Amino acid sequence: MIKCLLKLVSASFICLSMAPSVQAMPSDGLLHKVSQQVVKVRVALEGGRYGTGSGVVIAKDRIVTNCHVVANALHVSITFNGISYTANAMTPDWYHDLCLVKVEGLDAPIATIGSSRHLAYEQAVFTVGYPNASPTPSNTFGSVKGLFAMDDSVVIRASSTFSLGSSGGGMFDDDGHLVGIITLKSPGKQVYYYYMPVEWVQALLDKPEEPISTPAQLTFWASQPDKWPYFMQVVQPYLTGNWAALLTVAKKWRTQEPSNHEALFYLAAAEYAVHNLSSAQVYLQQVIVANAKHSQAIYYLTLIAQESDKHMEAWTNVALTHLEPASKLKSAIFAY
């Protein structure tokens, strides 16, 4: 889609055309290969209810999925190539919402583990999962939009989408390496999609197994909002335009993590919204110094340049990357 910023200059309009950058799509062969490493998860729950999700094969007889997929299950089965296998143990990391599930006899290709820490903004990624109880895996495509430091790794935000049933599936880089696990999204029309890092998955391999029936515990994103990581706390005020609340959270974030460029970005967004353009510009320039591919920061710098009648500077900003505007959407909680 082409978006235009219009400015009246000498009785004419300047139109800045902003189109997404073109990214190479993975080959059909790579998509087929990676899809073989992702399985469908089905759980039986109390009262005759059931749920579905996805999982990624990461070792012999082992898959990883989200803990919220298998939480409080009476029975967990894994389907691969039309054959159903019974899961008989798991290694949970409830806080990070990652469960390593043991499935004896599962004869499926093992994913190649990549690195979440070494991802870069705007890097191409794609997902594989089983959305909406689909009998076959589906792919979505996008790019990295955020990397948020947490517990020795990074939680990933990407533009690749997913829907109910895909939880526990995989996000892969353009080499087909597993770099993230599909986990949660924010509600609303402009949805933020989040993936847990593979480093947390690897940490589970050496931990003891527990019964499938182990009682569930809360994940970090299911706690009280004031206990959320800051990268979650800023989403609601940012998307709903509650700039006072955003300014408060962003300032707290920056105080605790002075070098975090995402804290600076949300501080800049709040300052821009209340027309403190000079402060916003200073913060945004610091963001770009730290991360030249931060498309949202470039978006705001473009707006500031336009409003300051610096049209050539705005045009240059547009040429750097595609832009991702803020949205006036109402969303209150995170969901998966």
Q: How far apart are CA 318 and CA 105, in angstroms?
A: 53
In this structure, is the dihedral angle defined by the CA atoms of residues 113, 114, 115 and 119, taken in order, positive or negative?
negative
Whole-number mean pLDDT of the chain? 87
Residue scoring higher pLDDT (135 or 180):
180
Give the bridge partners for 139, in sequence order. 128
- Please spell the DSSP secondary structure of 188-216, one letter per residue: SSS--EEEEEHHHHHHHTTSPPB-TTPPP
For residues 157-183, give the mean pLDDT.
96
Label residue 163 by pLDDT band (50, 70, 90): very high
DSSP H helices in 134-242: 198-204, 230-233, 235-240
Tokens 């599962």 correspond to: 106
* CA–CA gap between residue 237 and residue 235 (Å, rounded): 6
Domains contained in the chain, CATH given: 39-110+204-222 (2.40.10.10), 124-198 (2.40.10.10), 225-320 (1.25.40.10)
pLDDT at 261: 96
Residue 46 has pLDDT above 80, yes or no: yes
Q: Where does residue 263 rank: exposed (0-12), middle (13-18), buried (19+ CB within 10 A)? A: buried
Helix (H) or strand (E) holding 79: strand 75-80
Residues contacting 247, CB < 8 A, separation 6+: 267, 270, 271, 274
| Proportion of the chain above pLDDT 90, given as a percent | 79
Contact 122, 295 (CB under 8 A): yes
User: b or e along 225-241 (b: 16 or more beta carbons within 10 Å of the residue's beta carbon)?
Assistant: eeebbbbbbbbbbbbbe
Q: What is the pLDDT of residues 134-155, one digit of tens each?
A: 889 999 999 999 999 999 999 9
Phi, psi (rounded to 5 degrees) for 96: -90, 0
For residues 158-171, give the mean pLDDT: 96
pTM for this predicted structure: 0.86
